[in-house]
Every structure is written in structure tokens, then in C-alpha cells.
Amino acid sequence: MRQFFLIASVLFAFVAAGCSSQRVDLPQSPVIILFENDVHCAVEGYPKMAALKEVYKGQTPYVATVSCGDFVQGDLIGAVSQGEYIVDIMNQVGYDIVTLGNHEFDYGIQQQKILIGKLQAATVCANFQNLTTGELEYAPYEMVSYGAVKIAFLGIATPATATSVSQKTFQDPQGNTIYSFLPDSFFTSIQRQIDAAREQGADYVVALSHLGDVSDGVNPTSVEFARKTKGVDVVLDGHSHSVIAGSMVQNVEGEPVLLASTGTKFENIGVLELSVNGDFSVVLVPGDSVQSDAGVQKFVEQIQRSAVEAGEYIVGESRVDLPHEDAQGNRLTRYMEMPLGNFCADAFRVMLGTDIGVVNGGGIRNGLVAGDITYNNLISVFPFNNSACVVSLTGQQLMDALEASVYIMPEPFGGFLQVSGLRFCVDISVNSPVEQDASGLFKDVPAGVQRRVSDVQVLDPASGKYIPLAPSREYTIGGITFLLRDSGDGGIFRNATLLHDNLGQDTEILSRYLQQELGGVIDSRYAAVEGRIIVR
């Protein structure tokens, strides 16, 4: 194991001196901070984290284990327990400090509070404020002494959290927003907390941020945070799922700030070291190179078995059958509007707050029958564990995408779209004008040609009526990353602009829509199709 670390430090280490020239206290032994981000229920990595922790505890008395958020969501084991199984495992590992990712709020604000109350690690977040009290919900930082040296671990959540889950999450029963991630005062508010940590005696400040290094054009990134503040030595980052083995960013005073991120799902385990010389260095250890701690491994396996059993818990009921195929096994969702497709597409539109929701018919792999619905039933509908995202398209681009989705209709096609907030007509007597590139991906619909798709209308939420689609207007579309981000099913959305990524597991979107919006009951509104797709 130690031999591997020596090799890894040559390949992946980045070294940066501390940014304050005023420090006098240096550690008597190295301080090791093990870190991860965006685990998303990849629980097989926790025994590796535990093993690595034991290795370093044999080398120095100063070892900490921290998380940069997004740990309770991403797979069955999180969904069936609403995050509690993940907290149990993290407690078994012995985490010291965590900050909040946007997905820590996927199960609602009350469950989020229950999870953090159960978590034995300290939770820090310098920009999650209760507007009713005017106070931060959690301590902005945790001060930890390692001998004579004090390190302040500062927590930061992305302001995008406010729009990445249901708006009701941060509202009171009257619809008033009562929580904020301080987007308007982000840099000044957090700078005050950095200054406070320094005044309290922090020799070093390590930020546990869930900001991401990829800009969405609206919310601050970890790079911007490092550049626009002072007093932070290291930023350990999450949210973008980037692998950053160590890069240097100059802060507002021109001093170096070390930035690192491990990727996602224990692709790597980060090792941040503060040397006895007062210098920081970072190593990313590939997760598959670390042997698992036997005790934690056994605990995880027990939890996994419980999760499978717990998947049989009832999330709601259906009063109608929602088939995906006919008696002959023809998968109807691939070439015609289906009530099940409407239910799924509605879930994405409503829960992601977009103009339109879409589901590729080939991604619907099972139906729902009248009666109780378990979480495992929902997994059978969406078995591929896709993540949700939001993209934008102009009306013209949307019309082209619809054209591509019906290009071989009435023959079945996995990219045939079940839609929400949208309706249109298809004339299958018209030859498809869709052009594809050499690899078979959607290329274009030439101007001036006769189209199969016509009379495209978009639901106006204010009036509840459908209005004609505007070719030059930008529309937001919610669905899965496979279809919208990754050019799946022939690349029919390859021209889309990604706005928000990793917004929750597809089955969780269905579950939350059923429970939060439908009151746990799929009723007669989904007994028949609505004429969203009219075939002539």
C-alpha cells in the first residue's frame, strides 16, 4: 500500500505553499485530510476510504475524513432509505466533517435535517440561511486543532441548489421562500466567515465546496470563489464531477490557492497533506487501487441486502393500469403516445420546473399495474439508473428534434418521445426529411422541405392552455442525461444547450412526483391518452 502511495505522489501530487505569511504555528506531524465528492451512493468505495484512513493513522496522529457533498442520492440504497443507509455507512467509516451538496435536499427539507442530525460528522455551510430567523442553518466552519495548529474547515453549497429540487423544498406552506443560499451576497457573506475564522485563530482555511469548476453562466464556480476571496489555502470541490489532481488559482491578493476534486463515485480518493513545513500537497488515489477494510465491507454488504428488501416499500398506488406493451409484446411506448409515457414525462416537467418534459420511449422498460406501487416497481420502469438534467432549445431546434424522433414512425424507435407540456401532429404519409451524418446521428432538417410534424403547441402554465410554439423562443426541457446531454437515441437533442446537470435519479423523479404532486395516487387522469401526439 505505501509503495503505491509513493508512485501516486509522483504522478498526481500538486504542492502549494500556504498563502499567509503571518503564520507561526506549524504541525509537529503531517496533517492528512482524506476527501471525496459526489459519491452518489457508490457505497463500495466507503470500505476503501476506511482502509486508507487506517493506513494514514499508522503514520500520523492527525487524520481527518471529509466530504464535499452529494452523498445521500444516486442509487437504490439511498432512495429506499431516503439517505439514512448512506449516513449509517458514513458513521461506520467515521467521517469528521461534511458540507452540503444540492442532492442532500432531494428528499425534502425535513428529511435533510433528520439525516444531518443522524450524521456524526460536523456539518458546515457558510451560505445556507433561514430567512425567518436570519441565521445560518449550520455552522459556517469547524475549527480543528492538530497539536498547536488550527485548521478551519469552511463549508459552501452551490446557490443552484435553490432551483435544482422542487421549489416547495425551501418554502413554507403559504408558498413563501424561507431559505436562501445567498446568491446576491455570496462572495461578501462567505468572506466574512473566512475573516471570522482567521480572527478566531485559524492558521489555515480549507474550503469544502460544492460549487463545481464548470460555469453555468449564473452560479459561482469554485474557481471564481478562489479568485474573488482571500484567506483560503485550499478548495476541495464537488458538483461538476471533475477530476482535478491539483491546480493553482490566484486569489484576490495574488496568493496561491490549491484546488482539487476527485471526480465522482469514488473514482479517486483525495489525500490532502499539510507538511511540517506548512506546505499543502494533494494526491488522488484511484479507488480501484485500494483494498477494502473488511469490517466496513461487511457492514456495507448488510446494508445493501437491506436496501434490496426495502425496495419493496410502497410509494403509492395506481387506480389504473399503465402498460408499456401490448399482449403480443409490442413495445407501444416506442411509436405511440401512452398514458405511462405521459406520467413519466409529466414527472420530469413538473419536478424539474421546465417548459417541457420528454422521455425516450425506449427507456421505458416495464409497465405499472393497478394497485400498490413499490419503489422496485418504479425501478422496473426506469432500470438504467439515469440522472436527470435540463437543457434549452429554440422552438425551431425543438421542431427539428421532434422531426427526428418520428423519422421512422410507425416503425418502433427508442428515441420516439413521450412528451409533457407539448402537443403536435404527425403525418406518417410524408417521407421523413431528417438527414443523418455518417455515424447515423441526427444532422439536420433542411429548410423548405415538407415535414411530418406540424401544429406544435406548448402548454402555457398561466392559462393552462396550449399556444403555438414560437420558433425563435428558448424553451427549457427536462429529461434524462442519456437523451438530452449524451446524444442518446440517434442524437436527436445534440443541438441542445445543457443548463443543469445531475438533478437526481430518474426513478426518484417518478417517486417524488407520485408522492409530492399526485398525493400518492395515479388516478383516472392517466387512464387514457390526452392527444399530445396526434397521428394523421
Q: Residue 59 has what DSSP assignment?
A: T
Q: Which residues contact 24 (CB under 8 A, 6 or more apart)?
A: none
**For the residues 302-327, what does the mean pLDDT come to?**
92
**For the residues 248-260, what does the mean pLDDT come to?**
97
pLDDT at 321: 97
At which of 308, 326, 343 does a domain end? Answer: 308
Query: What's the pLDDT band for 68 if we cut at 50, 70, 90?
Result: very high
Cβ-contact 269, 262 below 8 angstroms: yes
Tell me: do 105 and 208 sit in the same domain: yes
**Cα 330 to Cα 328: distance, rounded to the nearest angstrom:** 6
pLDDT at 505: 86
pLDDT at 13: 46
Cα separations in angstroms, 213 against 48, 200, 219, 284: 26, 29, 11, 17
How many helices and strands, by DSSP H and E, does the chain display? Answer: 15, 30
Instruction: Identify the weakest region by mean pLDDT among 162-166, 188-192, 371-375, 469-473.
Output: 162-166
**Cα 483 to Cα 6: distance, rounded to the nearest angstrom:** 42
Higher pLDDT among residues 16 and 102, named by residue? 102
Tell me: do 363 and 497 sit in the same domain: yes
**For the residues 397-402, what does the mean pLDDT come to?**
97
**Cα 273 to Cα 299: distance, rounded to the nearest angstrom:** 29
- pLDDT tens figures, 481-536: 989 998 888 899 999 999 988 888 899 899 999 999 999 999 999 999 999 999 98
Residue recorded with cell 499539510: 274
- pLDDT tens figures, 95-109: 999 999 998 998 889
- Specify the CATH number for the domain of residue 203: 3.60.21.10
Cβ-contact 53, 34 below 8 angstroms: yes
Cβ-contact 156, 207 below 8 angstroms: yes
- In terms of DSSP H, where are the helices of 16-166? 46-57, 76-79, 84-93, 109-118, 161-164
DSSP 345-370: HHHHHHHHT-SEEEEEGGG----B-S
Cell of 417: 418521445
Tell me: do 164 and 296 sit in the same domain: yes
Number of domains in the chain: 2
Tell me: do 182 and 295 sit in the same domain: yes
Cα-Cα-Cα-Cα dihedral sign, residues 205, 182, 128, 200: positive
Cβ-contact 69, 239 below 8 angstroms: yes
Range of the domain at 455: 314-535
Residues 114, 347, 402, CA angle at the centre, nearest 5°?
A: 145
Higher pLDDT among residues 280 and 489, named by residue? 280
| Most distant CA pair in the chain, distance | 81
Residues 424, 425, 427, CA angle at the centre, nearest 5°?
A: 150
**Cα 127 to Cα 188: distance, rounded to the nearest angstrom:** 10
Cell of 78: 439511498
pLDDT at 167: 64
Please name every residue paired with 248 in a beta bridge, in sequence order, or none if there are none: 258
Tell me: do 374 and 279 sit in the same domain: no
Tell me: do 276 and 364 sit in the same domain: no
Cell of 292: 477494502
**For the residues 373-379, what does the mean pLDDT come to?**
92
Q: Which long-range contacts (CB under 8 A, 24 or more apart) does 338-343 make?
A: 338/364, 338/418, 338/529, 339/526, 339/527, 339/528, 339/529, 340/364, 340/367, 340/368, 340/381, 340/418, 340/526, 341/418, 341/419, 342/418, 342/420, 342/526, 342/529, 342/530, 342/532, 343/510, 343/522, 343/526
Cell of 528: 387514457
Higher pLDDT among residues 2 and 92, named by residue? 92
pLDDT at 536: 87
Cα separations in angstroms, 59 against 52, 226, 311, 354: 11, 31, 42, 52
Amino acid identity of 32?
A: I
Strand order through the sheet with 135-136? 135-136, 129-130, 179-180
> Which residues of 6-102 form beta strands (DSSP E)?
14-17, 31-36, 62-67, 97-98
- pLDDT tens figures, 342-359: 999 999 999 999 999 999
pLDDT at 166: 63
At which of 258, 276, 308 does a domain end? Answer: 308
pLDDT at 329: 84
Average pLDDT, the chain: 92
**For the residues 267-291, what does the mean pLDDT come to?**
97
pLDDT at 464: 93
- Percent with pLDDT over 90 in the chain: 77
Tell me: do 260 and 331 sit in the same domain: no
Higher pLDDT among residues 459 and 20, named by residue? 459
Q: Which residues contact 117 (CB under 8 A, 6 or more apart)?
A: none
- Is pLDDT at 183 greater than 50 in this prediction? yes
Cβ-contact 245, 282 below 8 angstroms: yes
Cβ-contact 419, 357 below 8 angstroms: yes
Cβ-contact 455, 425 below 8 angstroms: yes
DSSP 484-516: HTS-HHHHTTTTPEEEE----BHHHHHHHIIII
- Specify the CATH number for the domain of residue 475: 3.90.780.10
Query: What's the pLDDT band for 463 if we cut at 50, 70, 90?
Result: very high
Which secondary-structure segment (H or E) carries 374?
Answer: strand 371-374
Tell me: do 364 and 262 sit in the same domain: no
Tell me: do 342 and 489 sit in the same domain: yes
- The overall pTM is greater than 0.75: no
- Is pLDDT at 3 greater than 50 in this prediction? no
At which of 260, 289, 308 does a domain end? Answer: 308
- Is pLDDT at 193 greater than 80 in this prediction? yes
Residue recorded with cell 429506499: 80
**For the residues 38-49, what does the mean pLDDT come to?**
96
Cell of 350: 413538473
- Is pLDDT at 4 greater than 60 in this prediction? no
Tell me: do 319 and 281 sit in the same domain: no
Please name every residue paired with 447 in a beta bridge, in sequence order, or none if there are none: none
Q: Is 179 helix (H, G, I), strand (E, B) or coil?
A: strand
Residue recorded with cell 500500500: 1
Tell me: do 110 and 27 sit in the same domain: yes
- pLDDT tens figures, 195-220: 999 999 999 999 999 999 988 778 89
- Percent with pLDDT over 70 in the chain: 95
- pLDDT tens figures, 119-137: 999 999 999 999 999 999 9
Tell me: do 346 and 272 sit in the same domain: no
- Is pLDDT at 455 greater than 50 in this prediction? yes
Cell of 122: 460536523
